[in-house]
Amino acid sequence: DAPLYRTIAKVNQVRRANGIARAPTTLHHVSREKIVISRDAHTYPPASGGSVWLFVNNGGSGGASEPYAYCPPELPQTPPAGWQWEDALSGRAATFRDGCLQAPDRMPVVLVLARISSPIAASLPANVHGSVGHGNVRHGGVGQAQVPLRAAQVRA
For each of the domains in the chain, give its residue range(s) and CATH number, in order of start. Answer: 3-141 (2.60.40.1180)
In this model, does residue 144 exceed pLDDT 80? no
Burial class from Cβ neighbours inside 10 Å (0-12, 13-18, 19+) for residue 44 reads middle
pTM: 0.68
Mean of pLDDT values over 73-81: 89
Q: Each residue of 17-29: pLDDT tens digit? A: 777 777 888 999 9
CA-closest candidate to residue 113, choices 55, 43, 53 = 53
- Residue-level pLDDT at 134: 32
- Main-chain phi, psi angles of 70, to 5 degrees: -105, 120
In this model, does residue 133 exceed pLDDT 50? no
Q: Is the dihedral of CA 99, 101, 66, 130 positive or negative?
A: positive
- Main-chain phi, psi angles of 125, to 5 degrees: -65, 155
Any residues with CB less than 8 A from the CB of 81 and at least 6 apart, and which? Answer: none
- Residue-level pLDDT at 150: 38
CA-closest candidate to residue 108, choices 35, 28, 25 = 35
Q: Each residue of 36-73: pLDDT tens digit? A: 999 886 544 344 456 899 999 987 666 678 899 999 99
In this model, does residue 34 exceed pLDDT 70? yes
Write the single-letter amino acid at 51.
S
What distance in Å separates the CA atoms of residue 64 and residue 59, rounded to the nearest whole number?
7
In this model, does residue 130 exceed pLDDT 50? no
